[in-house]
Each structure stands twice: as C-alpha cells, then as structure tokens.
Amino acid sequence: MKIIVLLINLSLFNAVTTLLAADVDFPTQVFPIFEKSCLTCHGPEKKKGGLRLDSQTATLKGGDDGIVLVPGDAAKSDLYRRITLPSGNDDVMPNKGAVLTKAQTDLIRDWINQGAHWPQSAVASVPQEKASAPIRPACCRFQTDGGGNQSDRQSSGDGD
C-alpha cells in the first residue's frame, strides 16, 4: 500500500515537474553533460554501439539498436532509459564510472520532452563559451590631476 502511494506520488511528481520544468538550454545545460560523460565513447573517435552523440543528426540517427532519441517523448527514448538505470545494470550509460546525477537526468528528460532542440552551434569541436558580457574596464579611478595642491598645506598649519 505504502509503495503504491509512493509510486503514485512519484509519477505525479514527475508529471508536475515535467510540466513546470523551465526551458532547458541545450548548449549550456545538456551538451556539457554529453561532452563530459558520453562523447569519449560516442563521439568522433569511438562510436560504441554504433552511436555518436556529438551532433543532432547523428544522435537522431541512433545506434546499432535503432533510434535512441524521440523528441518530445523521454519515456520512449532509449537514451533516457539507459541513463536512468541503476548503477551496475548491464545497459546503464555511461557504462563505466559514475552514473549521472538525478539533476542531470532530469535536465536531459526535460530537454527531450521539450522537443530535444539542438542548436547548430552546439557541436563537439566548438568551445562552448557563450557570448559573454564585455568586460568593462575599471574606468576613471585615477584622475589625472594637473595642478599642484598647495592649498592642502593650510590644514596642517601650526598657528602663528
């Protein structure tokens, strides 16, 4: 009984968090996870399972077992299933090292559910620095003072 209530709570919670999820920004929020945890095995050098995750085209194409990403439907996306498997499971990804955190898999879930938008700018070779605000020079701290400041002397005067 408790378990059922818990499960209902969990799925409600998931539904609500998905609905309320803020828009995920792929280049800054999701792609760095791919770069750090996936591309060593699913990138230009290695494509384990026939899968590359370094471009939208490649990711949508899928791997040896077919489609891994269904835009708009994380639940049907093998990519999401695999990253949410418990550590030690045969299918879990990444299959070496630490599994992704819940925060990371939630981001990826939301990104998929929001349509898996993948701006062209996010490809592996491009450094992912966002156009940053121009650095403002520390202006005007030292004002040039052309004249002497003899008038200061008055204050240190020693009477008559």
Copy the structure tokens of residue 107. 């981001």
- Cβ–Cβ contacts within 10 Å for residue 158, how many? 4
Nearest of 5, 3, 18 to residue 80 by alpha carbon: 18
Copy the structure tokens of residue 156. 């240190």
Q: Which stretch binds ligand HEC (CB under 6 A): 1-9, 77-85, 111-119, 129-137?
A: 77-85
Q: Rounded to whole angstroms, what are the CA distances from 79 to 11, 39, 59?
A: 20, 13, 10
Nearest of 59, 39, 44, 49 to residue 67 by alpha carbon: 59
Beta carbon nearer to ligand HEC, 97 or 146: 97
Asked if residue 74 binds ligand HEC (CB under 6 A), the reply is no
- Cβ–Cβ contacts within 10 Å for residue 58, how many? 17
Taking CB under 6 A as the criterion, the residue among 24, 30, 93, 112 binding ligand HEC is 93
What track of x and - describes contact with ligand HEC for positions 97 through 136 (by CB under 6 A)? ---x------------------------------------
Least separation in angstroms between residue 15's CB and ligand HEC is 23
Interface with ligand HEC in residues 42-71 (CB under 6 A): 42, 48-51, 53, 62-66, 68
Where along the sequence are the contacts to ligand HEC (CB under 6 A)?
37-38, 40-42, 48-51, 53, 62-66, 68, 78-79, 82-83, 91, 93-96, 100
